[in-house]
Amino acid sequence: MEDILRPIYQERASMPSTLGILLIEKRNNAVSMTDTFDFILFVIAEKSEEAVYLKHYTYKDQKAALHIVQEEQLKEWVLLGTNRKVVEWIQSGRILFDRNEYLHDLKQELRDFPFYGRKIKMGIEFAKLIRRYMDGKAFFDNGHYIDAYNHIVHSLHHLARLELIEQGLHPELSVWNQVKMIEPEIFKLYEELVNSEEPLEKRLELLFLASDFLIYSRTGSGSQHILEIMSSQSEPWSIAGLMEHPELQYYSVDIGVLLEYLIDKNLINIVNVETKSEEIFHRYYKV
């Protein structure tokens, strides 16, 4: 089918805004990577009318998808880890067109995984971990065990992804296969939660006890990014100031619960600033 797709990607390659084109073929043991399509044409454009543009094609008994993605959108996906398929596509895709070695350099950057990029991703992942863990704990304390189970499973996923990122690895679609080899302690926790025959309440109780230590032991690396940013100015930060910071805005709604966790661990102090009312203070934050 590649011959059939050639006119399509040659047309895109002729456009000055096209930075690179990859071809990803379906593998029998990983059909989810291509969303069951036989071929994916992945086009990265410096500029396009839409951040993401899709087209589907059929040829005899095969199907193909064309994905055109703006470079800015791609960078956001890679930074936030919100589209993990894309990382696999870049790593495993075959280069059909490469303007000024853009894709060659991008593949190399993903392999090297610069520490600066890891630090931001770890911070975002840690914030999500704390959010899920705290919400799960609240549901557990109120006797809502199924809701608590749902949140703690997600928190273990974030813990696993955090560990992989710290080790310099990109979390793949099969995160638990990676974690089993890299950090068996986290994998064992997950396995005990989902496979144990103990009553759900007992499983959750034991897991919360074990998770407390695992999360605390990763607080230094997980909070390094936000603490460095907060230390960059001598004045205390307002919550609005933190959320408006170009890097911290990626933390989104999780930043509030992360602050409370770091206050509880004595890594951030609360600074009360007077308002016009005698009994109400502005709440600011300082490392």
Residue 284 included in any domain: no
Mean pLDDT of 57-66: 91
> Do both 266 and 128 map to the same domain?
yes
Residue 48 included in any domain: yes
208: exposed, middle or buried (Cβ count in 10 Å: 0-12, 13-18, 19+): middle
Task: Tell whether the model's pLDDT for residue 30 goes beyond 70.
Answer: no
> Do both 129 and 230 map to the same domain?
yes
Helix (H) or strand (E) holding 171: none
> Do both 246 and 121 map to the same domain?
yes
pLDDT-wise least confident of 172-176, 201-205, 270-274: 172-176
pLDDT-wise least confident of 111-125, 153-167, 208-222, 242-256: 111-125
Residue 193 included in any domain: yes
Residue 286 included in any domain: no
Residue 175 included in any domain: yes
> Do both 211 and 239 map to the same domain?
yes
Three-state DSSP class for residue 189: helix
Residue 283 included in any domain: no
Q: What's the confidence (pLDDT) of residue 175?
A: 84
Q: What's the confidence (pLDDT) of residue 114?
A: 66
> Do both 182 and 235 map to the same domain?
yes
> Do both 178 and 269 map to the same domain?
yes
Alpha carbon 210 to chain centroid, angstroms: 24
Domain-ending residue, one of 97, 112, 127: 112
Domains of the chain: total: 2
pTM to 2 decimal places: 0.82
Q: 117-136 burial string, b = 16+ CB within 10 Å, else e?
A: bbbbbbbbbbbbbbbbbbbb
The range of the structural domain enclosing residue 262 comes to 115-274
Domain-ending residue, one of 79, 112, 145: 112
> Do both 105 and 121 map to the same domain?
no
- Model confidence over 112-131: pLDDT tens digits? 876 667 888 999 999 999 99
Task: For residues 222 and 175, give the distance between their C-alpha atoms in angstroms, rounded to a whole number.
Answer: 18
> Do both 53 and 166 map to the same domain?
no
> Do both 171 and 268 map to the same domain?
yes
Three-state DSSP class for residue 19: strand
Spatial CA neighbour of 124 closest among 229, 210, 33: 229
The larger pLDDT score, comparing residue 98 to residue 50, is at 98
CATH number at residue 86: 3.30.460.10
> Do both 6 and 55 map to the same domain?
yes
Mean pLDDT of 255-267: 95
Residue 132 included in any domain: yes
Task: For residues 158 and 121, give the distance between their C-alpha atoms in angstroms, rounded to a whole number.
Answer: 11
Residue 259 included in any domain: yes
Mean pLDDT of the chain, nearest integer: 90
Q: What's the confidence (pLDDT) of residue 16?
A: 93
> With bands split at pLDDT 50, 70 and 90, how would you rate the model's confidence at 29?
low
- Are 74 and 44 spatial neighbours (Cβ–Cβ below 8 Å)? yes
Q: What's the confidence (pLDDT) of residue 266?
A: 95
CATH number at residue 260: 1.20.120.330
Domain-ending residue, one of 60, 82, 112: 112
> With bands split at pLDDT 50, 70 and 90, how would you rate the model's confidence at 76?
confident
> Do both 36 and 124 map to the same domain?
no
> Do both 210 and 86 map to the same domain?
no
